Amino acid sequence: MRILFYLLSIVIANVVTAAFAPFHFGMFIVPMGTLLIGATFIFRDLVQNKYGRKKTYLFIITALILSAVVSFLLGDTLLIVVASALSFVVAETADTEIYTRLKLPMAWRVFYSGIVGGFLDSAIFVVIGLSPLGANILPWEAVPAAILGQIIVKTIIQMIGAIILNKVGPMKEKYIIPE
């Protein structure tokens, strides 16, 4: 089920981003799919917790291919697909490696690794995909607001996920596959 939730959250994030205009709160610009991207880091952590780091990289590769295909089929330009893929790989790798190395309760590992992953995903995608450096969808003046808006939303989602995991109860270490 964890793998299914992980892969579905990525596909649904692509579909939602393509189907709905970004929302604005104050100066911040946030694609609707950002709400699900924050959750993908949590689902990936749960996958890693059950299957271990090495197998998780196979799921990340599967998710990357699935995400790129769905993004392309939804009409994204090749530049947007590449920016999305690059930000995905960097963010998921950072999240995976940080999650692996932190010696904290699971809820804190999910929170901290997700914050870094969310930051990298937001910054890389907006700069390479949306800024004048990429598809030129956003002017340079809007780039910081787009990055910060996504980071804020992803951080809130990470915080909610960490709180839920903490309330459900720490997962027993016997379920964590050592690497």
Tens-of-pLDDT digits for all 179 residues of the chain? Answer: 899 999 999 999 999 998 999 998 899 989 999 988 889 999 999 999 999 999 999 999 999 999 999 999 999 999 999 999 999 999 999 999 999 999 999 999 999 999 999 999 999 999 999 999 999 999 999 999 999 999 999 999 999 999 998 888 655 444 444 45
pLDDT value at residue 173: 43
Coarse DSSP helix, strand, coil percentages of the chain, rounded to the nearest 5 percent: 75, 5, 20
Give the integer Cα–Cα distance in Å for 128 and 148.
15
pLDDT value at residue 167: 87
CB atoms near residue 108 (< 10 Å):
14
Q: Residue 24's beta-bridge partner residues?
A: 29
pTM: 0.90
**Position 93, amino acid:** T
Cβ-Cβ contacts under 8 Å for 95 (sequence gap 6 or more): 41, 44, 45, 113, 114, 116, 117
Helix, strand, or coil (residue 75): coil
Q: Residue 25's beta-bridge partner residues?
A: 28
136: DSSP letter: -
